[in-house]
A and B are shown apart, each in its own frame.
Chain A
């Protein structure tokens, strides 16, 4: 299946601003998509949450063909 991955906020600075089209095995999750690109979000404190098709989902949510995955950084200043 093919999905699109994009970054927002500080995630763009760290991992690139461009959208990526990823070819993933069926059953892959948001976690798998990030790890495919070497984005080990567990090692950093930047990732806030992910959304699929504009809905916030758990990082272990299964993806489907055509999904649009976005990784948002934490926004915390005031």
Chain B
């Protein structure tokens, strides 16, 4: 057992730690949620990680996106994710894709992974992702934030949970979403935990949505 995983043992068995090294995840989005998910999966010792984002870091990301810093503004998020994770765990095989995730490339990007992680900030793209995961028969871990609030779910192929949540999406121009530092930290950690439970055959949020209200400390699991 690699010494770096010593403190994982107890939470995971040695067999589970070895099993995790044979698993792969594709993280769509390297911003607030994505940065946290990518770091968690890298430190835990997943075998292969694909990270996807078309954007570059900008100053407004600094309050919450753990992969951003004052020296890498203007740098591609997906490339930075790979560079930084290689300094944390060189055993993880990391592929970065600097591209906009959309219907035309969705299947090619996610194909061959054991799990896909939703770290997006766009509802229409989330719906494309849910459809693509269903078509490729890959489970999807969903996460989203809005101010003090967040949510996490595991969407198994065939479930239309995201379509049910978002319905006929129409952006409300009067509502300006806010994203503090702690909401993506909490939600991304739970997304990573759900992904690892799924990959290791443990019980996960199957057909359920965990809703999080950090302001009032309301945490609820809703059956779908």
| Chain B binding surface SS class | mixed
B120 touches A78 (CB 8 A): yes
For the complex, count residues of B whose C-beta is within 8 A of A. Answer: 43
Q: Which chain A residues (12-30) contact chain B, with CB distance < 8 Å?
A: 17
Does B175 sit at the interface, judged by CB under 8 A?
yes
Q: Which residue of A lies closest to B32 (CB)?
A: A78
B224 touches A76 (CB 8 A): no
A10 touches B150 (CB 8 A): no
Q: Which chain B residues (154-202) contact chain A, with CB distance < 8 Å?
A: 164-167, 169-172, 175, 177-179, 184
A54 touches B222 (CB 8 A): yes
User: A73 vs B151: C-alpha distance in the bound complex, in angstroms?
Assistant: 11
By a CB distance below 8 angstroms, the chain A residues around B165 are 48-49, 74
Q: Which chain A residues (57-78) contact chain B, with CB distance < 8 Å?
A: 72-78
The number of chain A residues touching the other chain, given as a range, is 20 to 34
- The count of A-to-B residue pairs whose CB atoms sit within 8 angstroms is 84
Q: Which residues of B contact A (CB under 8 A)?
A: 29, 31-34, 118-123, 126, 143-147, 149-151, 164-167, 169-172, 175, 177-179, 184, 209, 211, 213, 216, 218, 220-224
A54 touches B220 (CB 8 A): yes
B172 touches A45 (CB 8 A): yes
Q: Which residues of A contact B (CB under 8 A)?
A: 8-10, 17, 44-46, 48-49, 51, 54-56, 72-78
By a CB distance below 8 angstroms, the chain A residues around B179 are 77
By a CB distance below 8 angstroms, the chain B residues around A73 are 146, 149
A77 touches B177 (CB 8 A): yes
B221 touches A54 (CB 8 A): yes
User: A8 vs B1: C-alpha distance in the bound complex, in angstroms?
Assistant: 45
Q: Which residue of B lies closest to A53 (CB)?
A: B223
